[in-house]
Amino acid sequence: MRKIVILSLMLALSIAYAGCASPAVAEGLTEHTLRVDGEERFYLVYDPDGRAAERPLVLDMHGWGGTAYEQLGASGFTAIAEEEGIIVVYPQATGEELLWGLADDVSYIEAVLDAVSADYPVDESRIYATGFSAGGFMAHYLGGALSDRIAAVASVGGLIPDPDFAALGGAVTDAADLIELALPPEPIRPVPVMMIHGTNDEVVPYAGVEPTLAVWADWNGCGEPVMDFAEEAGPPVTRYEDCADDARMILIPFDDQDGHIIPREAGGLDAPEVIWAFFSTFVLT
């Protein structure tokens, strides 16, 4: 019965990737492997610009049961790379479940960053981490564990991996049976954070959003948040503007009957556009 439940949740997680078959290797897209802790690992690099000048890098991580190719097809960061000339890296989790191991995958991400920085003109002060669902959990974890390398983080349908979330429900509770949920190490500097999360999300319940923000607000030394009701539609945006070292935080909730998706609305909330607009204002010093 447990396996049936987990497979059902993995099917729900795959909704956001529907119709996004693995694309053929295109110009500027390259496949890479490297060995980490005795295991061969895979990742993709998308660099359609190809200029020699140093450029920002975005780590874009897939959800539970997804792949690097599926994230490339679903997240929308390929368009950002083409428009802005950034380098996008799509890491891939391992194992049957293709579920990020949090602390166990930090050395892999570090190795990927080292390898990409050796082969591509990466601006080391402008490396960012984002992800969907479990990939969002991993982005939050990297914000703490690699705060000396990651300038800012953003999640779509993801939370900080607080062990208290094991009882949250949805896929989070089931994932807690497979990996150890644990807060990342406290960052050595304030880290800007963006969260985009569906209010009707039943896979990664919205109830975990406020506790996630509370952890980061404490680490970033933020004052009280401000609610922004300026948007014509949808729930108010929450902004933390008064934070140490200008490490601003922002929560953008959205109403959608599916809840657990990457919003890509023409004329509305476009997650990659909003995330890049946020990332591009921060430089690691």
In a domain, 243, yes or no: yes
| Model confidence pLDDT, tens digit, residues 31-79 | 999 999 999 999 999 999 898 999 999 999 999 999 999 999 999 999 9
Q: Provide the CATH number for the domain around residue 178.
A: 3.40.50.1820
Altogether, the residues listed in the chain come to a count of 285
Q: List the one residue out of 258, 256, 255 whose CA is nearest residue 234.
A: 255
Task: Look at residue 21 and tell me if it is in a domain.
Answer: yes
Per-residue pLDDT, 22:
40
pLDDT digits (tens, 9 = 90+) for 146-161: 999 999 999 999 999 9
Residue 4 has pLDDT above 50, yes or no: no
What residue numbers bound the domain in which 98 lies?
Answer: 2-279
The answer to whether position 285 is within a domain reads: no
Percent of the chain surpassing pLDDT 70: 89
Whether residue 284 lies inside any domain: the answer is no
**For residues 216 and 49, what is the distance between their CA atoms, to the nearest angstrom?**
34
Give tens-digit pLDDT for 87-100. 999 999 999 999 99
Whether 47 is in a domain gets the answer yes
What's the pTM value of the predicted model, to 2 decimals?
0.91
Confidence of residue 131 (pLDDT cuts 50, 70, 90): very high
Contact 217, 176 (CB under 8 A): no
pLDDT at 24: 41
How far apart are alpha carbons 95 and 112 in whole angstroms? Answer: 18
Answer yes or no: are the C-beta atoms of 50 and 26 closer than 8 Å.
no
- Per-residue DSSP letters for 160-206? ---GGGGGS-HHHHHHTTTS---PPPPPSS---EEEEEETT-TTTTG
The string of pLDDT tens digits covering residues 210-243 is 999 999 999 999 999 999 876 556 789 999 999 9
Please check the confidence at residue 2 and state whether its pLDDT lies above 50. no
- Count structural domains, the chain: 1
